[in-house]
Structure 1
């Protein structure tokens, strides 16, 4: 945690209006029942602290991608009852997030009251770092609080421009504070050793910088999922029709990593075998193959049994574990074994005293399938923001607070 970042603990909110930027972009079903309320749950302590100090609260958030069009399907109104129940306070709602009427509503707030404003993304300016939109939003509070870690990597008006209008009266909330503290355990190698980083998913381009940054202090970097195939291809392996993202873009960089870190390359562990399929569907014909011997017409869709055994053995001797990204196409039941085995193993080792930090929707979803999400030390609310932090970059949303 850098000393320059003010948190809500640095302010007294009595008689002050806190403008809190949260990320309540939560998954919902067709009847707008929330299917995963993690992000809201994690922001509740911030809201409660301000309420306990007799502050007034104005909540701003986005929901979905309405692209500047006010759509009923993307309104935040569905959150009112849920928030009122969770906070045991009546939450009021206004169907806009700027303008004279919104300002009047804010000015009528009494200490301990909460107003939820409409979806920021109903204005296209939100995603364009717009000064005028930021100025209009800034009229709605005395102190700006950013508690939206999951969008802190975005250059959006309410994240990067809005804080400028608050001078020194800006800070992060408790969710953001926890995220930064836990990520710092990895960024500065502070965690107990051995430190294991597990990276999966298909996008290798977003994770190359992370590998370069973490290779300096991780004991093990395990690479699975679609991002393992470019490594295998560079080493001369046959990967058949396995999905490979932006290979031309990443080939040079990967070769550079292999060359630059020759003495540390044994830290990186790739899959040994895969469950290969003859088509991209759950009912495809399958066979278990060495990862570097996949024939044309076949594609690797999950890590194989030998890899599961190898990866799980490494995890079991680790004291600090970070995981982002699935090991295969885990939304297909027949190709979910690798991801689910990893989830269970991390949960088990956490129960024995290891520290685990997991981010990314798919990784967290796999933990929920196995009913072991409650056994993890910390579930990060932001996949993309977590990845950007691990590149050792200060997130734009945090930089804007300093």
Structure 2
């Protein structure tokens, strides 16, 4: 890969502009989930230990280019200080004289947090002047926000072309995990793609067919593929308008030698609610008044057998209505099998996407996966084979 890491930079005495993702949930001024903050701790601590002075660039919410106190990053200072175990100073803008004075006054061992980059409408337009204003604050640019790397913004793309640039520890880990899973993986490679709609993951499926040996399709997406095979899915969530597209994907998979795994048996219920009365049936016997809410035990057995034959697994999306018990059974069982194989060293497992992370956490399997990406859109676009502007800019 053509990008540098923190190990390639002389940080001593340097002001390091670090683009981070600390877009965390806040209720009544209190951070309710500090996961994203914890993920940037290794980068910040490394810079401090190397004698550098970290200056954090970040967005928060969607202020639409307006200054809104409810979306000020100032409220995150206590959480950041607790995570970094260092003093965190705050500047009320990310460019301009106040930010420049704060950057100049920064002492070794301190961290400077700049105000929400999206208080400037120019940020999302990748404005070069805004980027130049940010660049004046530092000597080195470090991007540690893979989750924002699919956006060409001033703080993710334009600025990287103005300063010596590198990837932070989180960005580095994301890129190495994804490169290992899709760039040069150990075969056989299996991808699990679930979720509601085929239409939102068309490019993903098209890219994966050429790159993986097995493609496990679950969730509402699987129903659309069953429809493409002229199987009745009753009241199930399915995109009947995508029937021909799904059929084309099945045909292309045959030509490339990619084996598509669809449910052999299904768990059906008449109501979409937790613990609704349900039954297990062959996948082609869904009653007209029922909906498919999960894959059945035969399907799980096939999926886990595929996992056992694989060396690399990429996972995006649940296999059923995982938010409702007991329709989380297939997702949980498959996740725990993947976790066990990873633990034993047989499998490299990489997962990402909001629902995926939630499902794997709920199953208790998450901590045994090789890598779990907290990046939603960026993770998907990478899997789709797209160039991410924030990554490409580091390769200049």
Output the TM-score relative to the length of structure 1: 0.89
Which of 4, 14, 38 is the aligned partner of 1:41?
Answer: 38
Pair 1:322-2:314 in alignment: yes
The reply to whether residue 210 of structure 1 matches residue 201 of structure 2 is: no
**The 10-residue stretch of structure 1 (256-265 or 116-125) with the greater mean CA deviation from structure 2:** 256-265
Match of 1:14? Answer: 12
Structure 2 equivalent of residue 158 of structure 1: 155
User: Structure 2: how far apart are the matches of 1:337 and 1:69?
Assistant: 45
Alignment match, 2:362: 369
Deviations 1:58-106 (A, max 9, x none): 1011223333343333332333222222222111122332222122111
**RMSD, aligned α-carbons:** 2.3
The CA deviation at 1:147 is 0.7
Matched, 1:224 2:218: yes
User: Conserved in 2, the CA contact under 8 Å of 1:258 and 1:265?
Assistant: no
In 2 relative to 1, CA 284–68 (structure 1 residues): closer, same or farther, beyond 3 Å? farther
Distance 1:244 1:64 in 2: 32
Q: Assess if the C-alpha contact under 8 Å between 2:122 and 2:154 holds in 1.
A: yes
Query: Aligned-pair distance for 1:135?
Result: 2.7
Q: Which residue of 2 aligns with 1:394?
A: 387
Matched, 1:187 2:182: yes
CA distance in 1, matches of 2:350, 2:167: 20
Structure 1 261/342 Cα, relative in aligned 2: closer, same or farther at 3 Å? Answer: closer
Gaps of 5+ in 1: none
**What corresponds to 1:115 in structure 2?**
112
**Structure 2 counterpart of 1:291:** 283
Contact 2:226 2:233 in 1 (8 A): yes
Aligned-residue offset at 1:31: 5.7
Please state if 1:357 is matched with 2:350: yes
1:381 aligns to 2:374 (yes or no): yes
1:279 maps to what in 2? Answer: 271
Gapped regions of structure 2 (runs ≥ 5):
none
> Counterpart of 1:401 in 2: which secondary structure?
helix
Indicate whether 1:24 and 2:22 are aligned: yes
Match of 1:67 in 2: 64
Partner of 1:331: 323
Matched ranges for 1:45-56 at <5 A: 45-56=42-53
Residues 1:173 and 2:165 aligned together? no
Partners of 1:30 and 1:304 in 2: how far apart?
Answer: 43
| Pair 33,261 (structure 1): closer, same or farther in 2 beyond 3 Å | closer
Contact 1:221 1:267 in 2 (8 A): yes
| C-alpha displacement of 1:270 | 0.8
Assess if the C-alpha contact under 8 Å between 1:189 and 1:217 holds in 2: no
Distance in 1, Cα, partners of 2:19 & 2:98: 20
The 1:181/1:187 distance shift into structure 2, 3 A limit, reads same
TM-score w.r.t. the length of structure 2 is 0.91
Displacement after TM superposition at 1:141 (Å): 1.6
